[in-house]
Structure formats: C-alpha cells, structure tokens
C-alpha cells in the first residue's frame, strides 16, 4: 500500500477509537500505531486538540479557491492558446459555437486592444448599486448618497456596506403592529444584495425589483420579486418563506435557489440548488416540488410548468461574477448581457438571432472580447453605435 | 474521500471539468499544508498553483485520488524547500526538520482529517452552519441566542439537529463527531 493510503487508514482508525465504535482488532491496530513512537502519540494529541483545528480553519478560509482557479485557468490557456483556438474553429463548423473558454478571453483582449479602445468605451460592465424605497415612499439612490446606516420608523436598523443592505429587526414587536415594507430596485447594469431581518440572504440581478417587510410576521415570511434573484433562506419551520412572482408562488423552508422572472420574457425559471421548494401557479391548485439540481419552467401564456434536471451551478454563476450559456441562441445571450452591460441591440435578420453559442464569461470584464470571439466564428458580425450593438 | 469515485479516471484523461472540481476542492488544503513550510501566503499560493501545473501537464496516471493528493503534497513540499534554499534559508529547513518525510506525513494526516470535518460542516443548512461557525468562534449558547435573536432552547435544539445530520453524513468517519461534540457542548 502507498504510504498516503496508509495515512488515510490511520485517520479512520483514530476516528473510530475516539467514539468507541471500533472492534477489538481495530483498537489493537491503533494502539500499536500509537505505541510505535512518541511522535505518533504526540501527533494524535495534536489532531484532537480543538484550538489546533480552529487555527487551521482560519488559515483554510484565507485562501480563495475560486479566485485561484481563475488564475490557474488563465495561465493554462495562455500556454495552450494555439491548440485551443484550433479546437474552437473546429467546433465553429458545427451547429453550436463555443463562445469562449475561461482564460481565453484574456488572449483576445490583449490581441485586440488598440482597435477596441479607440472604437468604444460606451458599453461597460455593470457595478453595485440600487435604489431603496422606504415604507413612507421616500426613494434613496444608493449610488448618489453615501449611506452607511438607516433607521426605519419601527426602529429597525438598515446597514449599507460593500454592496449589501443588512436588516436588523427590533427585538420587541408590539402586537398588531403594521409591518413596514421596503422595496429595492436594481436598474440596468447594476446588482445588489440584501440580508433580511431573519438572516436570509438575497442577491439581486440587474433590472429587478424586490419588495419585503422590514421585520417579518410571527407565522410567515413573505416577499415579492420581479426580475432575477438568488435566495439563501434561513430554515425556520414555524415561519415558512414565500416568494410571490406575477403568476407564481413559491414556498420555501431552509434552502437556496435562483428565480429568473423578467417581465419581457415568456418563461419564469426557478432553479433549486439545495433543500426543497414547492411551487404553486396562480390559476390552478396544482403544485410542484423541486429537488436539488432541478429547474421548473413556467410558461406564462399557458400556465404550464415543466420540471427539468439541470446543473444548478450553471444558473447561479452570475452571483459569482460569471455568466455561462449552454447552447443558447444569440438572441437569449444578448438579452441577458444587455441587462448587465446596459446596452440596446438589434438583429439584422432572423437567421442571425438563431445562431447558437456555448461558453462563459467573466461579467466584470469588458464585453468586446466576447463579441470578437463570436465574430471570429464567421457566423455573425457586429457593429457598435453609441450604446447600441447591431448584429449582422 | 471527499471526491467522487470516477473523478480520478476523468483526471487521468485530463478532463478540464473534473480538474476544476478537484482544484477548487483541494486547493485550500494544499495551501494550508504548504504554509507550514513557508509563512508568506502569496508565495504559498504560487507554489500550489505550480504544483497543480506539474500534475496537469505531466503524463502520470493515478490509481486513486489519495495517491494523486499524495503526489501534490510531495510536489508542493519539494517546491517549498527549493524556495527556501534559493532564499538562503537552509537553517530554517534544518531547524524545522522540513526535509524529513516524517513531518510530511504528519502534516498530511492532520490536514486530511480536518478536510473531512470541514466538508461535513459545509453540508449543513445555512442556519445550522451559522450556529456551528459561531460556536467555532467561541460563542457560548446564550451568546449565540443573542446573536441570532432566538431562544437558548432553540439554539440547543438546532445544535442537536446539526449533530444528528452530521452523524448521518459521516457514517464511519466518526472522528469528526468527537471534535464537533466539543463545539456543540460548549
């Protein structure tokens, strides 16, 4: 046996011993391991020491694996650019055109910099901002006002820090007191997140509107949404959490999920990451239960719901700064991008709209490299006029 | 044990999707490990990045994921020692016993065990996780109750539920339960 495999076995032995769950043979094995040397005995004591574990966790958390992956992938694709471009062109001949693969974006960016910079600076990636509407109807644009704290009429405190609003409810609630409501409006090219008074977290995407009570009821939690949001709901069985969307109501215990419900789109997408949620449509009594990695698609016109198995991670990439598309027509891709990069668009022909791409992009990077990659497939051309992109 | 069984096959085929899963899941552990040799985090991260490149661009195939992890631990250690030698820090190597295989194996055993625990905590619901995390910060039950605005009894119940869930998730990796017991009873 390889030494490393042996180490893993020892770890399991130690584990069982501590919880008195090992048989006598295992006990003997561990004892003989411990008796092999003073070092072994000391090591055992060190591993079960709580402070040591805590110190390790602190170090562990200081390393950001996702960020490191981006760096890693960038370095890798820089080395292999030639090979990758070839494979992209090969793909391009097929029906689906790869949009770009992670680090590739950097290559195109550096290669095209001059032409890009003179041409257009008008379309830029989005930023973090929002407009909050207080219960009394006052609107505060968080972009214009530097605001670190607000107090609502019931005494609840709203903190504003690093692109996130955080609610702390007052402890004592008077019986029968009216619940104050706030609304958060996210314009085009903006995003914002929110921690509700129960500790649940909501990340809101561009062109969204979210209404919620400043403090929740004793027996239920109810909010409403237009647009796209990712939810991480705190489990509280005594107070179910409801999300109301035009035509749909979602009941939640503790879980995380994404809802995409834009007024200008025919479908509402509900994607479950973990836990369980229940969907009810407004028109009939039917309900649907979603499991992790399932997505419910509601067609507004017919009120039909279809549940599909999906890779949920693909649909929540935007909260981590990534948009990814899986064999989607350019029309859908551009619609999504236009909300974040805040541009208008036009297609010169119906055929252009149908060209499909797959791949992902870092949403905090410029949009032009992606457009160039699309163009490099030879299937489409694009032209930028001010804030408008024309696809030909 | 934290990775799926067929992952190593996909990695042997140098499948990029599998690489991402493995990289993101193992990167911080390898950093924690390398930091025992070199205190500067930025240097540690460079070394760990390079170690993954050595694996990815090499021709080596691995029988199981533990062996691949072992390969990466050893590669990272080798690179750490090289760095120290280049910096003229041979004394540190001698004093720390950094060139000894014993130390390597001890650090691997420690980190591999803690990986299991970490993974278990990650699998909890947001609220249970928060309670465990507060406990890990040293909060006592009444302080957790205060922080989350719930009663002490609720804290106790939630801790109990978290405990049960972890027991279910971990099965024979009961070692974890011992450590968590300390948290939960705090």
pLDDT-derived band at B33 (thresholds 50, 70, 90) equals very high
Give the model's pLDDT for residue A196.
93
Query: Mean pLDDT lowest for which of A138-147, A187-196, A209-218, A260-269?
Result: A138-147
How much is the pTM? 0.51
Average pLDDT, chain A: 79
Q: Please indicate whether, in this complex, the C-beta atoms of A69 and B102 are within 8 angstroms of each other.
A: no
Per the listing, tokens 């290669």 go with A111
Average pLDDT over residues A357-380: 78
pLDDT on residue B2: 54
Where does the pLDDT of residue A211 fall: very low under 50, low under 70, confident under 90, or very high at 90 and above?
very high
Residues A83-109 have a mean pLDDT of 36
pLDDT of residue B179: 41
Question: Model confidence at A105, in pLDDT bands (50, 70, 90)?
Answer: very low
User: What is the pLDDT at residue A10?
Assistant: 78
User: Under CATH, what is the fold of the domain A66-123+324-391?
Assistant: Phage tail protein beta-alpha-beta fold (3.55.50)
Q: Answer yes or no: do B149 and A169 touch at CB < 8 A.
A: yes
What is the model's pLDDT at position B128?
77
CA A194 to chain CA centroid, Å, is 14
Query: CB–CB of B49 and A169 under 8 A?
Result: no
pLDDT of res. A15: 55
**Which tens digits make up the pLDDT trace of A317-342?**
888 888 877 777 889 889 999 999 99
What residues of chain A lie within 8 A of the CB of B126, using their CB?
Answer: 199-201, 232-235, 254, 256
For the cut 70, the answer to whether the pLDDT of residue B107 exceeds it is: yes
User: Cβ A60–B118 below 8 Å, yes or no?
Assistant: yes
Give contacts of B64 with chain A, Cβ < 8 Å. Answer: 5
Give CA–CA dist A131/A122, Å, rounded. Answer: 23
> Could you tell me the sign of the dihedral formed by the alpha carbons of B45, B47, B50, B52, in that order?
negative
Q: Which residues of A fall within a CB distance of 8 Å from B176? A: 15
Give the pLDDT confidence score for residue A183 in this predicted structure: 95
The more confident residue out of A109 and B6 is: B6
Chain A residues whose beta carbon lies within 8 Å of the beta carbon of residue B184: none
Q: What is the tens place of the pLDDT at every residue in A8-20?
A: 777 666 655 543 4
Range scoring the smallest mean pLDDT among A231-245, A341-355, B153-167: B153-167
Which of the residue ranges A20-24, A27-31, A153-157 would you say has the lowest mean pLDDT? A20-24
Cβ contact, residue pair A235, B128, below 8 Å: yes
Residue A21 has pLDDT above 70, yes or no: no
Minimal CA–CA distance to A234: which of A210, A270, A198, A202? Answer: A198
CA B127 to chain centre: 22
Residues in A closer than 8 angstroms to B2, CB to CB, are: none
Closest CA in chain B for residue A53: B114
CB A392 within 8 A of CB A348: yes
> What's the mean pLDDT in A264-286?
87
Q: Where are the alpha helices (DSSP H) in chain A?
A: 3-18, 24-36, 38-47, 50-61, 65-79, 81-92, 104-119, 330-341, 350-353, 368-376
How far, CA to CA in Å, does A335 sit from each of A204, A338, A342? 17, 5, 10
Q: Which residue of B has its CA nearest to A275?
A: B125
Q: How far is CA A99 from CA A102, A189, A245, A290, A389, in A?
A: 10, 21, 32, 31, 17
> Are A69 and B24 in contact (CB < 8 Å)?
yes
Comparing B184 with A42, which gets the higher pLDDT?
A42
**Highest mean pLDDT, choosing among A145-159, A280-294, B31-45, B109-123:** B31-45
What pLDDT band is residue B136 in, cutting at 50, 70 and 90? low
Task: Identify which of A14, A72, A256 has the shortest CB distance to residue B49.
Answer: A72
Q: What is the pLDDT of residues B60-106, one digit of tens each?
A: 888 888 889 999 999 999 999 989 988 888 888 888 888 888 888 88
Token match 């870092």: residue?
A: A362
Nearest beta carbon to residue A57 from set B25, B64, B136: B136
Q: How far apart are CA A12 and CA A21, in angstroms?
A: 11
CB contact under 8 A, B45 and A14: no
CA distance B103 to B92: 14
Smallest Cα–Cα separation from B161: which of B137, B132, B139?
A: B132
Q: Which residue bears the tokens 């990650």?
A: B122
How far is B93 from B79, CA to CA, in rounded Å?
13
DSSP state string for chain B: --S-TTHHHHHHTT-HHHHHHHHHHHHHHHHHHHTTT---HHHHHHHHHHHHHHHHHS----SSHHHHHHHHHHHHHHHHHHHHHHTT-HHHHHHHTTT-HHHHHHHHHHHHHHHHHHHHHHTS-HHHHHHHHHHHTT--HHHHHHHHT--HHHHHHHHHHHHHHHHHHHTT-THHHHHHHHHHT-
**Partners of residue A199 in chain B, C-beta under 8 Å:** 126-127, 130, 148
Domain limits, chain B: 1-115, 123-186
CATH topology of domain B1-115: Rna Polymerase Sigma Factor; Chain: A (1.10.1740)
Residues in chain A within 8 Å Cβ distance of B148: 199
A contacts of B106 (beta carbons < 8 Å): 39, 43
- Contact B41/A62, CB-based, under 8 Å? yes
Looking at CA atoms only, how far is residue A262 from chain B in angstroms?
27
3-state secondary structure of A50: helix
Instruction: Say which of A16, A60, A233 has its CB closest to residue B174.
Output: A16
Are the beta carbons of B148 and B155 closer than 8 angstroms?
Answer: yes
- Closest residue in A to B50 (Cα) is A72
pLDDT tier, A226 (very low <50, low <70, confident <90, very high otherwise)? very high
- Sorting pLDDT into bands at 50, 70 and 90, what band is A262? very high
- Give the distance from residue B65's alpha carbon to the nearest chain A alpha carbon, in angstroms: 10
CATH of B123-186 given 3.40.50.300, 3.10.620.30, 3.30.360.10, 1.10.10.10? 1.10.10.10
B23–A2 C-beta distance less than 8 A: no
Inter-chain touch A8–B1, beta carbons under 8 Å: yes
Q: What is the pLDDT of residue B138?
A: 67
A102 pLDDT higher than 70: no
| Range in A181-190, B30-39, B111-120 the model is least confident about | B111-120
d(CA A373, CA A382): 11
Mean pLDDT of A67-88: 63
Q: What is the pLDDT of residue A2?
A: 72
CATH number for the domain running over A127-315? 2.60.120.1440
Q: For chain B, how big is the Rg over CA atoms in Å?
A: 20
Indicate the residue of B53, B66, B136 with minimum beta-carbon distance to A4: B66
Please report the sign of the dihedral spanned by the C-alpha atoms of residue B22, residue B26, residue B27, residue B33.
negative
Instruction: Please tell me the distance from the alpha carbon of residue A368 to that of residue A372, in angstroms, as a whole number.
Output: 6
Query: Collapsing DSSP states into helix, strand and coil, what is residue A25?
Result: helix
Give the C-alpha separation, A274 to B10, whole Å: 25
CA-based nearest residue in chain B for residue A62: B28
Contact list, B73 vs chain A (CB under 8 Å): 4
Band (pLDDT 50/70/90 cuts) for residue A250 is: very high
The distance in angstroms from the start CA to the end CA of chain B is 29
Please name the member of A14, A72, A232 whose beta carbon is closest to the beta carbon of B52.
A72
Residue of B nearest to A1 (CA): B67
Residue A114 has pLDDT above 60, yes or no: no
């Amino acid at each position: 046996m390889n030494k490393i495999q042996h180490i893993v076995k020892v770890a399991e032995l130690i584990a069982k011993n501590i919880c008195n769950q090992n048989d006598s043979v295992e006990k003997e094995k561990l004892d003989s391991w411990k008796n092999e040397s003073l070092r072994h005995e000391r090591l055992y004591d060190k591993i079960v020491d709580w402070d040591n574990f805590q110190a390790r966790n602190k170090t562990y958390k200081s390393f950001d694996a996702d960020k490191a992956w981006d760096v890693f992938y960038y370095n890798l694709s820089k080395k292999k650019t030639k090979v990758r471009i070839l494979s992209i062109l090969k793909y391009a001949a097929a029906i689906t055109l790869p949009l770009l693969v992670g680090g590739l974006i950097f290559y195109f960016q550096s290669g095209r910099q001059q032409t890009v910079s003179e041409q257009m600076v008008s379309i830029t990636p989005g930023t973090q901002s929002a407009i909050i509407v207080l219960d009394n109807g006052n609107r505060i644009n968080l972009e214009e006002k530097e605001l670190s704290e607000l107090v609502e009429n019931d005494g609840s405190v709203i903190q504003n820090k690093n692109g996130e609003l955080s609610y702390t409810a007052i402890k004592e609630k008077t019986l029968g007191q009216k619940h104050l409501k706030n609304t958060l409006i996210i314009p085009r090219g903006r995003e914002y997140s929110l921690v509700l008074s129960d500790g649940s977290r909501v990340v809101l995407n561009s062109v969204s509107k979210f209404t919620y009570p400043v403090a929740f009821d004793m027996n239920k939690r109810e909010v409403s949404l237009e647009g796209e949001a990712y939810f991480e709901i705190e489990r509280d069985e005594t107070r179910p959490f409801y999300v109301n969307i035009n035509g749909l109501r979602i009941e939640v215990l503790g879980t995380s999920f994404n809802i995409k419900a834009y007024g200008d789109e025919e479908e509402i997408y509900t994607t479950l990451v973990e836990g369980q949620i229940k969907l009810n449509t407004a028109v009939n009594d039917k309900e649907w239960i979603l499991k992790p990695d399932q997505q419910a698609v509601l067609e507004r016109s017919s009120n039909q719901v279809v549940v599909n198995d999906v890779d949920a991670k693909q649909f929540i990439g935007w909260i981590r700064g990534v948009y990814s598309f899986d064999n989607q027509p350019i029309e859908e891709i551009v619609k999504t991008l236009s909300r974040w990069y805040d541009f208008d668009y036009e297609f010169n022909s119906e055929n252009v709209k149908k060209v499909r791409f797959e791949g992902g992009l870092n949403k905090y990077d410029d949009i032009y490299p992606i457009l160039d990659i699309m163009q490099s497939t030879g299937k489409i051309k694009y032209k930028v006029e001010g804030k408008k992109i024309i696809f030909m | 044990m934290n990775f799926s069984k067929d992952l190593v096959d996909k990695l042997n085929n140098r499948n990029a999707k599998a690489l991402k899963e493995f990289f993101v899941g193992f990167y911080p552990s390898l950093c924690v490990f390398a930091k025992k040799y070199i205190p500067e985090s930025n240097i540690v991260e460079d070394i760990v990045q390079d170690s993954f490149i050595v694996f990815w661009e090499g021709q080596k195939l691995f029988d199981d994921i533990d062996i691949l992890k072992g390969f990466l631990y050893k590669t990272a250690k080798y690179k750490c020692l090289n760095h120290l030698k280049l910096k003229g820090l041979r004394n540190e190597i001698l004093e720390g016993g950094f060139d000894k295989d014993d130390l390597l194996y001890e650090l691997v055993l420690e980190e591999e065990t803690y990986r299991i625990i970490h993974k278990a905590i990650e699998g909890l619901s947001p609220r249970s996780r928060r309670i465990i995390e507060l406990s890990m910060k040293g909060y006592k039950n009444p302080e957790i109750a205060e922080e989350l605005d719930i009663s002490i009894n609720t804290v106790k119940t939630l801790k109990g539920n978290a405990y049960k869930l972890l027991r279910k998730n971990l099965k024979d990796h009961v070692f974890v339960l011992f450590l968590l017991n300390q948290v939960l009873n705090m």
